[in-house]
Structure 1
Amino acid sequence: MPPSIALVTSSYKGDWERCRLLCDSVDRFVTGHAVHYLLVEAADLPLFKSFEGPRRRVVSERDLLPFWLRPINDPIAAGRRLWLSPFGPPLRGWHVQQLRRIAMGAAMDEGVLVSLDSDVVFVKPFDVSHFRAGEAVRFYRRAGGMAEVEPERRPEHERWSRRAAALLGLPPEPIPAPTYITTLIAWRRDTVRALLERIGASTHRPPMMALAGSRALSECTIYGRFADEVEGRPERHLPTDERLCAVYWDGPPLDAAGLRGFLEELAPEQVALGLQSFTGTDPATIRRVVGLGD
């Protein structure tokens, strides 16, 4: 019997309205999953509990992350949070969201994790069993993708790749040509568990302690390099460069006309939009344009 699939979203109170839009779009368009997990800071738990239902659960990060990783208010940036640890530098929310996903991928009962950011919205019907290919699970791998990264962003991607190598006990050079980062991806639970075991063996530290030791962190790169270079088992992993979610990464806020134009340009296989929250695009406008009501 093929493994069951869980949708996993790591979010926070600043993205509550966008997360509500994601949940509504999942309920409208997405099938084939057993449950949708929302992973949040403990302080945000009451706010997100309203999203729970027969196939959606809200999970506190305190049930996933080590006790020594604790959030505080950022003393410099009002309204922002930092996570302090005795084993590395203060982490931002986007670092900790990655740690939550990795922890959930190892802890959950379901066999496959499909990762969704909280600023994703589905716009077409989509059965997540698409990620299964017989006994294998599709994972995102873009051959030659490193050369396609914008020059100003490439140093950061290279740091992520070197950090993945250090965690996994791989040579730091050469940096592989493929990239593994996109929105709407699938991981195997057993691979996440094996990945954490590898990190522990390679670093001689508890895996979460090693992961929290630096801000150079890309969970997609770590998973991709592990699947490619450590497991290397095509019967378990089917590489694909299919981008199922069209992403609006930066630029001015999109109005209704801009959103309609973006929708019209979707490739046939694209079933979702990733409208980065820092572009300031209004969730209410998105909701109207994609037909999810008020």
Structure 2
Amino acid sequence: MSAVVIIDSDVALLRAMPADLFIRNGAVRLYEKPESITRTMNRHVMWTRTAHKLLGLPAPESSTHPDYVAGIVTWDPKLVTGCLARIEKVAGSSWATAVGAELHFSEFILYGTYVQHFGSEQQRSFREPSTLCHSYWDSAPMTASGMEQFIAGFGPADVAVHIQSNSNTSEETSRQLFEALRSKAMGRS
């Protein structure tokens, strides 16, 4: 069995990532945080609508949706192939043309929505609400006090850290943060 591990370019790996972190009992791990996309998350809501459209699903009616966006995600290559074939069937064109025509699109939301609606029970059996990656998504630069809180929030299940590049967090702050978290990950703090 194989899996594709997708790691955002803003992610720094701090711990080992053994294969069983991503594959369990013949299923590839799917990051899925149920009901975490709310009406106020405009971009995520648009991405969810686009995924439903591309997959030929009715427009979502719920006020909340699962989130599949994270700094580290894994995909099952067989499910990716099925997802692309589904898009081509619905669109009547290549998947690249169909996806390229969409202004509001998230590959993570698309894949997760496909797995949710078209994956077998076995393929959906390894869904996890934890990201494996301690992330800073704020658009404001991280402050010294924010750095202390962020370090305290790095847990034993986190294998990586993600500082959103558009937060404009200084290189010095990022360097200090990575050093502190590397020490914590190795059990030295």
Q: Where does the alignment leave 5 or more consecutive residues of structure 2 unmatched? A: 183-189
Give 2:56's aligned residue.
169
Classify the secondary structure of the residue corresponding to 2:4: strand
Which AA in structure 1 matches 2:44? H
Classify the secondary structure of the residue corresponding to 1:171: coil
Deviation sequence 1:218-246 (CA, Å, 0-9, x none): 11111111101122x12123211112112
What CA distance in whole angstroms lies between the structure 1 residues aligned with 2:101 and 2:160?
A: 33
Q: Give the drift of 1:195.
A: 0.5
Classify the secondary structure of the residue corresponding to 1:177: strand
Q: Give the drift of 1:127.
A: 2.4
Please point out which of 95, 113, 118 is paired with 2:9.
118
Instruction: Say whether the 8 Å CA contact 1:256–1:289 is kept in structure 2.
Output: no
Q: Give the drift of 1:255.
A: 5.4
Give 1:178's aligned residue.
66
What CA distance in whole angstroms lies between the structure 1 residues aligned with 2:166 and 2:33?
A: 26
Classify the secondary structure of the residue corresponding to 1:124: coil
Please point out which of 97, 115, 134 is paired with 1:246.
134
Which AA in structure 1 matches 2:8? D
Change in Cα spacing, 1:275 to 1:167, as seen in structure 2 (3 Å) is: same
1:272 aligns with 2:163: no
Which AA in structure 2 matches 1:218? S
Q: CA RMSD in A?
A: 2.2
Instruction: Say whether the 8 Å CA contact 2:32–2:67 is kept in structure 1.
Output: yes
Q: Give the drift of 1:113.
A: 1.1
Report which structure shows greater RCO (CA 8 Å, sep ≥6): 2
Which AA in structure 2 matches 1:214? E
1:201 aligns with 2:89: yes
Q: Give the drift of 1:260.
A: 4.4
What CA distance in whole angstroms lies between the structure 2 residues aligned with 1:222 and 1:112?
A: 17
Which AA in structure 2 matches 1:210? A
Give 2:114's aligned residue.
226
Which AA in structure 1 matches 2:56? G
Q: Give the drift of 1:126.
A: 3.1
Please point out which of 22, 25, 30 is paired with 1:139.
30
What CA distance in whole angstroms lies between the structure 2 residues aligned with 1:288 and 1:145?
A: 31
Give 1:211's aligned residue.
99
What CA distance in whole angstroms lies between the structure 2 residues aligned with 1:208 and 1:224?
A: 18
Change in Cα spacing, 1:229 to 1:146, as seen in structure 2 (3 Å) is: same
Aligned residues: 178
Q: Give the drift of 1:217.
A: 0.1
Classify the secondary structure of the residue corresponding to 2:161: strand
Q: Give the drift of 1:197.
A: 0.5
Please point out which of 28, 44, 47 is paired with 1:157.
44
Classify the secondary structure of the residue corresponding to 1:144: strand
What CA distance in whole angstroms lies between the structure 2 residues aligned with 1:187 and 1:252?
A: 31
Instruction: Say whether the 8 Å CA contact 1:256–1:286 is kept in structure 2.
Output: no
Change in Cα spacing, 1:288 to 1:178, as seen in structure 2 (3 Å) is: closer
Which AA in structure 2 matches 1:262? F
What CA distance in whole angstroms lies between the structure 2 residues aligned with 1:158 and 1:169?
A: 17
Q: What is the TM-score when the length of structure 2 is the normalising length? A: 0.83
Identity %: 27
Classify the secondary structure of the residue corresponding to 2:66: coil
What CA distance in whole angstroms lies between the structure 1 residues aligned with 2:146 and 2:44?
A: 29
Q: Where does the alignment leave 5 or more consecutive residues of structure 1 unmatched? A: 4-110
What CA distance in whole angstroms lies between the structure 2 residues aligned with 1:230 and 1:135?
A: 17
Instruction: Say whether the 8 Å CA contact 1:136–1:234 is kept in structure 2.
Output: no
What CA distance in whole angstroms lies between the structure 2 residues aligned with 1:260 and 1:270?
A: 17
Which AA in structure 2 matches 1:167? L
Classify the secondary structure of the residue corresponding to 1:267: coil
Give 2:75's aligned residue.
187
